[in-house]
Structure 1
Amino acid sequence: MTDSPPAGDGPLGIGLLCFIVQRTMEDRVLADLAAAGFDDLTMAQSRVMARIGPQGTRVTDLAEQARVTKQTVVTTIHQLAGAGYVRRIPDPSDARARLVVFDQRGLAALEIARKTEAAVHEEWTRHLGRRETERLHELLTKLREITDPYR
């Protein structure tokens, strides 16, 4: 499968271009995680992990942000907990609720992911130039104002 449109269809739309860039980042992160010994993570699991906040996140919030059912997130969190990436703790603000937080293995994986993101950012900056990369970041941040209900 290629990322090129069929002949005569013109340039790719902005949505597809954003998807291609996002997919490339996700693929690089997962490849580097696998190379570092975190080869049991799936794309779906990594997408849920990416939404866990520094102080932890409730399952219902993870499901809403990932746009999947609560049952899907519960299953994913169960798998991640079994592999040592996350754990569930009581929510200090609501005794009835629980938070999903990173466990030691998850924190180690997060460190690798952040290093990969930084390396990719550097590569893209070399390709686009610092000014264009800063402008791209600025424009995407501005778009987030109208596209991200979780900002």
Structure 2
Amino acid sequence: MNTGLLLYIPYRHLENRVMDAIRAAGFEVTLAQARLLQRINPGGSRLTELAEAAQVTKQTAGFLVDQLEKAGYVQRVPDPRDGRARLIHATDKAREAAPIAEAEIARIEAEWEQHVGKRRMTQLRATLKKLCEITDPYR
């Protein structure tokens, strides 16, 4: 099994568990919507920025933002730097899901640490952070 797949399988497990926890708490969002939501900057994001960060077309991002806006998870506001542009902001409703996701991630990481041991988990995190130096285009 290649390293990319070895990284992806645990991530997919984590993502599925987080989505299950969010849905169980009453938040009706799809995985595609959630992936877009988590990429919204605190000060708002332009649609083109979201599309690029989520690696989807501008049309797909626009469709997802339309759905999220109808459900009350985002709002579009004028960009103060450019009156022609709009910024997408997460609403309080969207931000209420964050603690649920964070708590589930903490549970999962604790399970992983119990399974592999504290030292290995610490080494894994340090190694992955080091790899982010050369792989994360948004850092």
Q: Which residue of 2 aligns with 1:20?
A: 9
Give structure 2 stretches of 5+ with no counterpart: none
How many residues are paired up? 139
TM-score (norm: length of structure 2): 0.93
CA RMSD, aligned part only? 1.3
Q: What SS does the aligned partner of 1:47 have?
A: helix
The structure with higher relative contact order (CA 8 Å, sep 6+) is 2
Partners of 1:107 and 1:121 in 2: CA distance: 22
Partners of 1:93 and 1:119 in 2: CA distance: 41
Question: Do residues 88 (structure 1) and 76 (structure 2) align?
Answer: yes
What are the superposed Cα offsets for residues 63-117 of structure 1, whole Å, 9 maximum, x if unpaired? Answer: 0111111110011001011111111122233333222111121011122111111
Give structure 1 stretches of 5+ with no counterpart: 1-11
Partners of 1:96 and 1:130 in 2: CA distance: 51
TM-score (norm: length of structure 1): 0.86
Of 133-142 and 72-81, more deviation after overlay is shown by 133-142
Q: Which residue of 2 aligns with 1:109?
A: 97
Q: Which residue of 1 aligns with 2:64?
A: 76
Q: CA deviation at 1:125?
A: 1.5
Give the ranges of 4+ consecutive aligned residues of structure 1 lying more than 3 Å apart after TM superposition: none
Task: State the identity as a percent.
Answer: 47
Partners of 2:79 and 2:120 in 1: CA distance: 42
